[in-house]
Amino acid sequence: MDIISTRSMSKDFLEDIIKSAKKYDSDKDFTSVLKGKILATLFFEPSTRTQFSFQTAMQRLGGKCVGFSSTEGTSVKKGETLMDTIRTISSYVDCIAMRHPKEGAAKLATEVSGVPIVNGGDGSHDHPTQTLLDLYTIRKGLGNFDGLNIGICGDLRYGRTGRPLSIALSNWDVKLHYISPPQLSMDKGTIRHLKDKKIAVKEVMKIEDVIKELDVLYMTRIQRERFPTEEEYLKFKGVYVVDPAMMAKAKERFILMHPLPRIDGITLEVDDDPRAKYFEQARNGVPARMAVLHKAITE
């Protein structure tokens, strides 16, 4: 099956992935699960965690990987279309995990691919496997979703992690607190969707306004590469920073998350705080993507 859009994931699907990620989150040998299968990781945009955790996940399941991490050295540089690239590679492998700067690219790829497509990020739009590992991290850290106050902070406009995470969380009884400058706020369509699902949404400009109430603070990076000009980006660079003084205001039972890279959003001193979960979150990408690959390739 293709894994393209967070909106199309049911609560049962999400629970199923979380359960499967928990099973794979161990040192046991799972190399018979996808033995003999090949995954192509096609990254038309930079990636560290997503690309490497997909490749690690595939190998932990006994499969093998091929792929590229930049279009340099491929026929894309000669002007080959996305459609022809996907059509060709899908005739070599059993599954494609791809990241592309254009919104909708993964969906488009499914039209010509003979094998399942997994969306590893399409422009500012969606990043479903990030959402799955984020859900797994919250479940692992706090036990459940119902009743949680979840803050999502930073570039909610150009970022592709806050939107799908909100949509997935709307399957439970959560309260969402969006923290952003008005120019980088969550789009109205998403807020309407959340309100239709009876989710309480509050929008503020400062972390200080809500930090005491939060069970989770999910920081996001100001998406430099998606601003129309560098000058626009510089207006928002460094606008949110979590440091030990900010952590001192948060609850004891609280987790700080970030999809990474953090750039200047969280200071290094915060890393030693046991509530800082972003590196564990990145590590959770492996069992979560093992669950995803197993589902994509076998169902």
Q: How far is the CB of 87 from ligand NCD (least distance, A)?
A: 25
Q: Is 60 a catalytic residue?
A: no
Residues of span 233-262 touching ligand NCD by CB under 6 A: 259-260
Q: How far is the CB of 259 from ligand NCD (least distance, A)?
A: 4
Residue with tokens 């309480």: 200
147 — alpha (psi -120 to 50), left (phi > 0) or beta?
left
Under rule CB under 6 A, residue 127 binds ligand NCD: yes
Cβ nearer to ligand NCD, comparing 24 with 218 = 218
Cβ nearer to ligand NCD, comparing 117 with 260 = 260
Q: How far is the CB of 84 from ligand NCD (least distance, A)?
A: 25
Site string for ligand NCD, 105-124 (x = CB under 6 A): ----------------x---
Q: Is 78 a catalytic residue?
A: yes
**Assigned token pair, 229:** 């000009």
Binds ligand NCD (CB under 6 A): choice among 50, 69, 149, 180: 50
Q: Which of 6, 37, 41, 50 is catalytic?
A: 50
Binds ligand NCD (CB under 6 A): choice among 3, 17, 30, 49: 49
Count residues near ligand NCD (CB under 6 A).
10
Under rule CB under 6 A, residue 177 binds ligand NCD: no
Q: Is 160 a catalytic residue?
A: no
Under rule CB under 6 A, residue 221 binds ligand NCD: yes
Q: What secondary structure, in 3-state letters, does the chain show? A: CCECCHHHCCHHHHHHHHHHHHHHCCCCCCCCCCCCCEEEEEECCCCCHHHHHHHHHHHHCCCEEEEECCCCCCHHHHCCCHHHHHHHHHCCCCEEEEEECCCCHHHHHHCCCCCCEEEEEECCCECHHHHHHHHHHHHHHHCCCCCCEEEEECCCCCCCCHHHHHHHHCCCCCEEEEECCHHHCCCHHHHHHHHHCCCEEEEECCHHHCHHHCCEEEECCCCHHHCCCHHHHHHHCCCCCECHHHHHHCCCCCEEECCCCCCCCECHHHHHCCCECHHHHHHHHHHHHHHHHHHHHHC
Residues of span 134-163 touching ligand NCD by CB under 6 A: 160-161
Q: Which of 37, 60, 99, 277 is catalytic?
A: 99
Q: Is 294 a catalytic residue?
A: no
Q: How far is the CB of 264 from ligand NCD (least distance, A)?
A: 12
Q: Is 99 a catalytic residue?
A: yes
Q: Which of 127, 177, 262, 294 is catalytic?
A: 127
Active site residues: 49-50, 78, 99, 127
- Which chain residues interact with ligand NCD by CB under 6 A? 49-50, 121, 127, 130, 160-161, 221, 259-260
